[in-house]
Amino acid sequence: MTPVITTRDICRYFGDDEDILVKAVDHVSIDIEPGEFTAVIGPSGSGKTTLLHLIGGLDNPTSGIVELSGTNIAQMSAAELSDFRRDHIGFIFQAYNLIPVLSAEENIEYIMLLQGIDAATRKQRVHNMLAQVGLDGLGRRRPNKLSGGQQQRVAIARAMASRPDIILADEPTANLDSRTGIALLDVMRELNEEHKMTFVFSTHDEKIMSRATRLIHMHDGEIEKDERK
């Protein structure tokens, strides 16, 4: 099976003085296959969030190669990378990052609107995603009228509605209580199994680790262990 994510010797260093050089990601090579439910884990400062940002094109590697669906994103222009992220990657952030002036429905629809998907298809997908994440009847509420768990459900629906190849989730349960976090993880696992989308988490949450099918352990910017369950 052809990997959907490939990194080869990627490095991300900060600083230009050898004495204060921070090796956030140091020569990391991984292959992630379609449909995997992977957690990148490790203590704070281990490099897991930086690795996620490099995979998603939110940061550029100091050296090395990042390929998504067979495309080397490091060789893209800023405009090309923006379009690629729009069409191939869904992001779920710890802080939700919803657009406050848009309703839940409009937040979910937004990326599809940029993709040029027709109105009827957008409406149907929004309706289906709201139902799948348990937000039936709340689609017209703006983020400030939703709880933290409900906002994260909108973020999950938004990430998946555009049918990306990859979902990248950076500490998605960090701001949620245990019960809400478990419920949302179960939703993501069900969606992963149903749609065969690839999920990659950056986390230190045991609840995510227990549900992941693969654990990539990072320490000081390097992969310490890579295990499939």
Averaged in consecutive runs of 10 residues, what is the pLDDT profile of the chain (229 residues)? 92 82 94 95 92 93 92 88 90 89 96 93 93 90 93 90 90 83 85 88 92 95 94
Sheet holding 214-219, edge to edge: 89-93, 166-170, 198-203, 37-41, 214-219, 222-228
Backbone angles phi, psi at 42, to 5 degrees: 155, 170
Please tell me what DSSP assigns to residue 143. Answer: G
| Per-residue model confidence (pLDDT) at position 39 | 96
Please tell me what DSSP assigns to residue 43. Answer: S
**pTM confidence score:** 0.89
Question: Residue for token digits 């701001």?
Answer: 175
Helix, strand, coil in percent for the chain, rounding step 5:
40, 30, 35
Which range of residues forms the domain containing residue 15?
A: 5-228
| Per-residue model confidence (pLDDT) at position 80 | 92
What is the tally of structural domains in the chain? 1
| Per-residue model confidence (pLDDT) at position 203 | 92
Nearest to 180 by CA among 153, 205, 206: 153
The tokens for 197 are 């989308």
Nearest to 202 by CA among 61, 57, 38: 38
**CATH number, residue 161:** 3.40.50.300
Distance between CA atoms of 27 and 71, rounded to whole angstroms?
Answer: 20
Our CA angle for 219, 215, 182, nearest 5°, is 115
Please tell me what DSSP assigns to residue 4. Answer: S
**DSSP string of 123-145?**
HHHHHHHHHHTT-TT-TT--GGG
User: Quick count: other Cβ atoms within 10 Å of Cβ 226?
Assistant: 14
